[in-house]
Amino acid sequence: MNLERRFPCITYMETAAKRRIPRFAWDYMAGGIGREKVLAENIERLDRVKLTPRYLADDANAPDTSHELFGVDYNAPFGVAPLGLSGLIWPCAAEHLARAAKTHQIPFALSGFATSSIEQIGGIGGNTWYQHYATIDRDINSDLLKRAQAAGFEVLVVTVDIPTATRRDRDIRNGLSVPPEFNLRTLFDIAKHPAWALAMLGQGVPEFLNFKPYLPQNISLAELGVHLQKLIDCHVSLTQLQWYRQQWPGKLIVKGILDTDEAIACVEVGADAIAVSNHGGRQLDAAENVLEVLPRIRAAVGADFPLLADGGIRNGLDIARYLASGADFVLLGRAFMFALGALGALGAGHAMNVLQSELRASMGQLGCPQIHRLPEFLTRVC
Ligand SMILES: Cc1cc2nc3c(=O)[nH]c(=O)nc-3n(C[C@H](O)[C@H](O)[C@H](O)COP(=O)(O)O)c2cc1C
């Protein structure tokens, strides 16, 4: 199959994924919270970022997408965002993405709620980041960090924007819970998507493998769900953030910050970077837009403090738009999930190729030779 020809951009992969995977899996991945206003705005707001091309410079025709973060030279200024339950979209999604990220020399962030374990991803190597979701038990939190460190993860991402259990209407209607409450409609949905169903048969039911060692063994799925719910408490206070800083010797990113004062607090606690994010419109349907808050947060933390950003990125030009607007690095979530849903394992590397080549082409059109110079091309925000 000529991948480039059939899937020249993420949009084609999105359409194919929607056809290929069951509705409940699509809804979980593509959907947002509430009336999905923030989800839509993430994309609309990006479209309104305008850049001015300049054609006459001597060095304009050989754009270089490589970029440094935390002393690591990456091939491109983007990475794979943490994605919980990614194994629902395609079996071993996290492993496919981690392998492709290693090949492409970009970072891969493993979600605490991943369906692949810390040890499985550590075995792949590459530039892996571990995204931690807190449990109520400090010993378990400490053990998870030790496991991540032992498995070679270099960066800890602490996500702070899930202070309480999330209510997403599509997931409630689809019975997507632990354990899943599937009915005839769901089974019919699965039957209508044989490629996905067959691939899933090989894997079995996706599990939250990272938490498995801390849960009682040999109990029913229903009992497991109850235990898991009792164990997880994703709320992270400033005191807890201080504790994570003391525990983790490597780089620390705080993900999900939108408030200037909280950004300053993260810097004071000793975070190495902040990921400015509204969680892809999945947590609060009145959350501020990242592009709107980015200049304020940049002014508060200073020019040299690394700021990551995410939300709504679907192509290389969107990456350029975020970087031109003041982000040092970006993360993509759904774009990679669409690719896996459409193409399975092949999708991971293909999406990375497409995004990097679109970014290079956009920089070429702008006349921008290097990533760090993109802000020079930001002209007008309507
Ligand atoms: C299916 C799905 C699962 C996610 N799971 C997590 C997670 O476990 N941890 C986390 O910090 N963010 C999670 N996110 C948010 C992403 O890391 C990222 O912030 C978001 O996807 C960016 O928006 P985008 O999907 O438009 O690129 C998830 C997003 C999606 C779409």
What pLDDT was estimated at residue 381? 55
How far apart, in Å, do the first and last CA atoms of the chain sit? 41
Q: Is 207 in the pocket of ligand 1 (CB under 6 A)?
A: no
Buried b (16+ CB within 10 A) or exposed e, 4-36: eeebeebeebbebbeebbbbbbbbbbbbbbbeb
84 lines ligand 1 (CB under 6 A): yes
> Model pTM?
0.96
Q: Measured in angstroms, how far is the CA atom of residue 333 from the centroid of ligand 1?
A: 5
Q: Is the CB of 32 under 6 A from ligand 1?
A: no
Rounded-to-integer distance, Cα 376 and Cα 12, Å: 31
The pLDDT, as a whole number, for residue 99 is: 98
DSSP string, 231-291: HB-----HHHHHHHHHH--SEEEEEEE--HHHHHHHHHHT-SEEEE--GGGTS-TTPPPHH
Is residue 87 within 8 A of residue 113, CB to CB? The reply is no
User: What is the DSSP pairing of strand 251-257 with strand 49-51?
Assistant: unpaired
Report d(CA 15, CA 102) in Å as an integer.
Answer: 27
Cβ of 31 less than 6 Å from ligand 1: no
Please give the C-alpha separations between residue 215 and each of 114, 144, 210, 219, 228, in angstroms, as whole numbers: 16, 14, 10, 9, 7
- Please, what are the averages of pLDDT over each run of 10 residues along the chain (382 residues)? 93 98 96 98 98 87 94 98 96 97 98 96 97 94 98 97 92 82 87 92 85 85 81 92 98 98 98 98 98 98 98 98 98 98 98 98 96 92 53
Q: Which residue of the set 193, 279, 350, 372 is catalytic?
A: 279
Specify the pLDDT at position 106. 98
Question: Side-chain half-sphere of 290: how many Cα atoms within 13 Å?
Answer: 33
Angle at 152 between CA 147 and CA 156, to 5 degrees: 70
Q: Is 312 in the pocket of ligand 1 (CB under 6 A)?
A: yes
CATH number for 3-381 (one of 3.10.129.10, 3.30.300.30, 3.20.20.70, 3.20.20.60): it is 3.20.20.70
Ligand 1: centre distance to CA 14 (Å):
16
Residue 179: asked if its preceding bond is cis (omega within 30°), the reply is yes
Contact 250, 146 (CB under 8 A): no
The pLDDT value given to residue 10: 98
Q: How many other CB atoms sit within 10 Å of the CB of residue 297?
A: 24
279 is catalytic: yes
Ligand 1 atom closest to residue 310's alpha carbon, by position in its atom list = 22
Find the 294 Cα to ligand 1 centroid distance in Å: 19
The pLDDT value recorded for residue 380 is 60
Query: How is the chain split into domains, by residue range?
Result: 3-381
State the pLDDT at residue 371: 98
Q: Which residues contact 139 (CB under 8 A, 6 or more apart)?
A: none
User: What is the C-alpha separation between 323 and 65, in angstroms, rounded?
Assistant: 12
The pick from 282, 284, 322 for probing ligand 1's pocket by mutation, whose C-beta has the most ligand atoms within 8 angstroms, reads 282
One-character DSSP codes across 141-183:
HHHHHHHHHHTT--EEEEE-S-SS----HHHHHHT-SSS----
Report CA 342 to chain centroid distance, whole Å.
18
CA 85 to chain CA centroid, nearest Å: 12
Main-chain dihedrals φ then ψ at residue 79, nearest 5 degrees: -140, 175
